[in-house]
Amino acid sequence: MKTIKGPGIFLAQFMGDEAPFNSLDTIADYMADLEYKGIQLPTWDPRVIDLKKAAESQTYCDELKGKLADKGLEITELSTHLQGQLIASHPAYNTMYDAFAPAEVHGNEPARRAWAEQQLKYAAVASKNLGLKSHVGFSGALAWPFLYPWPQRPSGLIETTFKELANRWKPILDIYDENGVDYCYELHPGEDLFDGSTFEMFVDYLGGHKRANINYDPSHFVLQCLDYVQFIDLYHDRIKAFHVKDAEFNATGRQGVYSGYSGWADRAGRFRSLGDGQVDFGTIFSKLSQYDYDGWAVLEWECCIKSSEQGAAEGAPFIESHIIEVATRAFDDFAATGADEAVNRKVLGI
């Protein structure tokens, strides 16, 4: 078994216009002071990383790693959540998704997608240059507006969706394979990959591509009433990244999973700061350790009640307290017989 690395923290939800959250240097110092050991970088924010330069310059990557190492930090993974979303987008969302891309491709979905594809390819090479083995992001979605089967979906619609999704992703995943990096999809409502069944379909259409993997985030499964512990038993061989995020689901006579279009604070299912929700992290960390997960445990803070500053401050010790220093010997070694084949045969009477 292997010991999980951490605590790490995803910077996306903390970046802002005010110091110390407006530059990599200052936010890295801030997180290091909170005793985080790793930071996950949102590649769409130029204040954090120049993605193209990271793909083209080993020197730039070495200097970036060195600067963070001086602060006691490592890069856990790069993130292309926003760019990955643009690989597949239903026209209903095009106007909103334009905000994820440069102005010159707004209103032009094919050009926007081509930009996103290049970003993902840069991220593969940049990850290699930074010595990273895993990368995190979204899959995008073509079929999400048709989640509920009413009106009746046209026959074959989902099959067409996943065939197209796989066709768009396979050349990208091949680039990740060439660079020795796993692309870890965050299974998330709003994406065509949002649970185990959809992930399985996707991998099947990809012919089992080994670089299609999972960024495990139990919070999204709580909101779907999915067994997030059994999920680890089923898909542990594909879990290559881990977002430590809490959530709660409190159904009422008025609301269930869909939560009546309410805002986050008033939804039956909502994200919470670590320790404030219902996720059984003790069991999760045990399961992941049992299955030899040796990647990072990375806090993703998304809470509609508690401040990000308090969430970050509480997150590092929470994760640290759940990391299991795995056993290096059996607990009953003191009673070992030191038997060999001959002794075993004698014990069995054969």
pLDDT value, residue 337: 74
Residues of the chain with pLDDT under 50: none
Whole-angstrom Cα distance, residue 175 to residue 212? 12
Residue (of 249, 234, 239) closest to 295 by Cα position: 239
For 5-348, CATH number? 3.20.20.150
pLDDT tens profile 296-332? 999 999 999 999 999 999 999 999 999 999 988 877 7
pTM above 0.85, yes or no: yes
Tokens of 185: 């999809």
pLDDT tens profile 243-273? 999 999 999 999 999 999 999 999 999 999 9
Neighbours of 2 (CB within 10 A): 12
pLDDT value, residue 343: 87
Q: How far is CA 231 from CA 6, 58, 69, 199, 344, in A?
A: 22, 38, 35, 12, 38
With beta carbons less than 8 A apart as the criterion, state whether 4 and 288 touch.
yes
pLDDT value, residue 192: 98
Residue (of 304, 12, 27, 31) closest to 186 by Cα position: 12
pLDDT tens profile 190-203? 999 999 999 999 99
Whole-angstrom Cα distance, residue 89 to residue 139? 10
Domain boundaries, given as residue ranges, for the chain: 5-348
